[in-house]
Amino acid sequence: MPDPRFKILTSASTSGPGDAGRTGSWRVERPVIDMSRCIPAKTGKHACHLCWLLCPDNVVSKDIEPEIDLEYCKGCGICAEECPVQAIEMVPDADFIEGAERE
């Protein structure tokens, strides 16, 4: 029988406001997942999920198409660094501000 201490592989908590409030507001870059490269999205099977496992804020879902809760993602880039198929790109948050122009 597996040791029950190892049944939960990631934090059992969910992301949410703590003393620091909405921590996603600190972010300067956000992770964007290319579903055409992401292993579970491509194969339609639960596989990999390293972004879910390694995110220190527990903001990535363990779905066939992983979703990132940008309210609490701090933009640390660990998921992009660890993705085995480079499916995650860190993109400047400013690119998503409506009407903003970048040089």
Tokens 């992009």 correspond to 80
Q: Using CB under 6 A, which of 10, 77, 89, 91 touches ligand SF4?
A: 77
Query: Does residue 39 touch ligand SF4 according to CB under 6 A?
Result: yes
Q: Count CB atoms within 10 A of the CB of residue 38.
A: 21
Q: Smallest distance from the beta carbon of 11 to ligand SF4, in angstroms?
A: 11
Report the DSSP beta bridge partners of residue 88. Answer: 33
Query: Does residue 50 touch ligand SF4 according to CB under 6 A?
Result: yes
Phi, psi (5° rounding) for residue 30? -120, 150
As given in the structure block, the two tokens for residue 21 are 């409030």
Q: Smallest distance from the beta carbon of 34 to ligand SF4, in angstroms?
A: 8
> Max alpha carbon distance in the chain (Å)?
59
- Can you give the binding site for ligand SF4, defined by CB under 6 A? 31, 33, 38-40, 48-51, 55, 57, 59-60, 66, 68, 73-79, 83, 85, 87-88
